[in-house]
Amino acid sequence: MKTLLTAEHLAWIGRTEPPVTVEVSRRDIVKYSIATEQVQHKYLVGDEAPPMFVFNLFGPMAELKDLRTDGLPKGQGGGPRFPLQRVMAGGTQIRQYQPIRPGDRLVATRSITDMFEKQGSTGPLIFTVRTLSVTNEAGASVLEEIQTSINR
């Protein structure tokens, strides 16, 4: 198989974006819990954030006109440009080390942790693995989210 990943692509592995800090409010937790139809009382009253609460918590705020058709901000998605342009979700793993509660100040860093190629049934595929590491102000691990995207 002809390789599509160049040294320039692979040089992105290990790069870390600048940290983003967010303060979690009870209102944020309650709004997310209602929007995602949570049923547990601790989520509905905002005592604890439900799973997936961090999804796009650290993303930039954007006006509607600045969103792509998939709802994400235009120009986002740090990383190299690939010769394969169609991007699909390849899976998400979440490891939560402690609950997220109102008043928590969370610090997130995102990095590309792996990149590799495979041959699919309809052609080549490029896999990119990104890790979001979330800590509290004291530096203790709160959550790790590992997302894989597939270019084809």
> What percent of the chain lies above the pLDDT cut of 90?
75
Q: Which residue has the higher pLDDT, 74 or 40?
A: 40
Choose which CATH entry (3.30.390.50, 3.50.50.60, 3.40.50.20, 3.10.129.10) describes domain 7-151.
3.10.129.10
Q: Whole-angstrom Cα distance, residue 10 to residue 94?
A: 24
* Alpha carbons 117 and 83: distance in angstroms, whole number: 12
Q: Confidence class of residue 65 from pLDDT cuts 50, 70 and 90?
A: confident
Q: Are 95 and 147 in contact (CB under 8 A)?
A: no
Q: What is the pTM of this model?
A: 0.84
